[in-house]
Structure 1
C-alpha cells in the first residue's frame, strides 16, 4: 500500500445561538455531542482495523472548542494518539466582523451601509459569496484554506498506510474535498457530514486524492445546521 490516509471527522453536536449564521461560535459540545465524540473512536478503530492502516500519533483539530473537545474525547480512547494539534486553519468559514450576529442583524447592517448592495437570498449557502465585512471569507475560500493544511500535513507523512486524524467542520471540509479533487462542485451542496463519523481520503505519492471509506451524509435542503 503506497497511499497515505487522511481521516476527516466533523465535530459532535454543540450549543448554538439561535438563527446565527456564524460558525465561529465559542461554545462546546452538548451531552449528545460528547457521546458522539466518544463513539467516534469505535468507528475510527473499525476503519483502521478493516483496512490495515496504522494511526499517526498526532491528531489535528480546528481550534474551535467543539472540534477540540471531539478530537480530545475520541483520541483519548485511541492509545496510538498522543497529542492534539490545534490550528485556526481548520476552522469553519469566517463571517468576519459579522460574527455571532443574527441573520436579521447581518441583513440590517448591510442595508444600513450605503456603499453595499443588498445581500442575495442565497448568501449563506452560495459557495462563492463572501459577506462584505472585514475578515469575512467565502465557503470556497475556507475550503482552500483547509485543503492547503491537509496537503501540507500529509506531505509530512511518508509511511504508506499511515492514517492521520483531522477534526473539523462540515462545510469547510466538504469544500476542501472539492479543492482536492474528491467532490465535484455540484455535490458540495447535496452532501454533508455526520456528526463525529469518519470519512477517509487517501492521497497517493503523486498527490492524487480520493475517497476510500466512510459515508457522506445526504444533505436535507431544509436543514438549519450552520456547518
Structure 2
C-alpha cells in the first residue's frame, strides 16, 4: 500500500466586482483587474509548492459555477501551463458554490430583511444572521453556512479522500465561507476558528489526506480576521 497522502489545494476566488450590501454568495460578477492578477500569481505559487514538495498535479481543476471562481481557475490554469504543468480541463460544479440564499439570492441584507418583515409567516432574522453558521433563511432553496460547508466537504472527501492519488495535488477553487465550514466538517478547523479565520484572495491552502483517513493542514496560511470584521465569502 502506498503510504503517501493525497493533497488538496483550496483556493478562494480573486477580488471581484460585488454589489454593495449584498451577501456575496452567488453574485454573477467578474473578477477585477486585481483579481485577475491574483489568479495568475496563485498559479505560480501552486507551481512553486508542487516543485518544493516533489508533488504532481491533477490535470483537472475543480471550480464552482460562479464566474469569479471560474475566472480564477482559468488564470491558475494558464500560469500552471506556462510552468509546464498539464491542465486538461476546468470542471465546474455547483457542489463548490457558496451558501445558497434561495429566492433571496443577490438581494441586499436590507432587502432580505424587508422581505421577511413583509411576510407574516416568518419571524425577523436574528441579529448578525448573515454570519451565523447555523441560521438558514426561511425561504425556498436557502441553506445555512453549515449546510453549505457539509455539501462542499462531501465533494472534497469524494474527490481527494476517495479518488485522490498519492502525491498528487487536486486544486479546488471556490468560496471562503463555504471552504471554512467544510474545513470544520473535515476536522481541519475548530468551530470557533470558522469566525476567527478567513482566506486570502487566490492564495492556496494545501491540505493532505492520509491513506488512514486523516486530514491535516500542510502548507499555506489562513487569514486572521480583525475583531468585528464582517465575514465575507
TM-score after normalising by structure 2: 0.94
Determine if contact 1:22/1:94 at 8 Å carries over to the other structure: no
Q: Does 1:117 align with 2:106?
A: no
| Cross-structure match for 1:19 | 21
Matches within 5 A, 1:71-90: 71-78=73-80, 79-90=85-96
Q: Does 1:192 align with 2:194?
A: no
Determine if contact 1:7/1:201 at 8 Å carries over to the other structure: yes
- Among 197, 200, 205, the alignment partner of 2:211 is 205
Deviation, 1:21, is 1.3
Determine if contact 2:134/2:146 at 8 Å carries over to the other structure: yes
Could you report, residue by residue, the CA deviation over 1:25-75 in whole angstroms, capped at 9, with x for unpaired residues?
A: 001100100010011011111211111111111111111000000001111
Deviation, 1:222, is 4.3
Figure out how many residues of one structure are paired with residues of the other and give that number: 226
Comparing 216-225 with 47-56, greater Cα deviation is found at 216-225
Distance 1:201 1:64, change over 3 A: same
Superposition CA RMSD, Å: 1.1
Q: Show structure 2 runs of 5+ residues with no match.
A: none
| Cross-structure match for 1:2 | 4
- Among 87, 100, 123, the alignment partner of 1:94 is 100
| Cross-structure match for 2:189 | 183
Q: Does 1:160 align with 2:162?
A: no
Determine if contact 2:131/2:231 at 8 Å carries over to the other structure: no
Partners of 2:139 and 2:183 lie apart in 1 by 26
Partners of 2:72 and 2:65 lie apart in 1 by 11
Could you report, residue by residue, the CA deviation over 1:191-227 in whole angstroms, capped at 9, with x for unpaired residues?
A: 0000000001101112211111100000124444630
3-state SS of 1:55 partner = strand
| Cross-structure match for 1:34 | 36
Determine if contact 1:7/1:165 at 8 Å carries over to the other structure: yes
Q: Show structure 1 runs of 5+ residues with no match.
A: none
Partners of 2:143 and 2:110 lie apart in 1 by 19
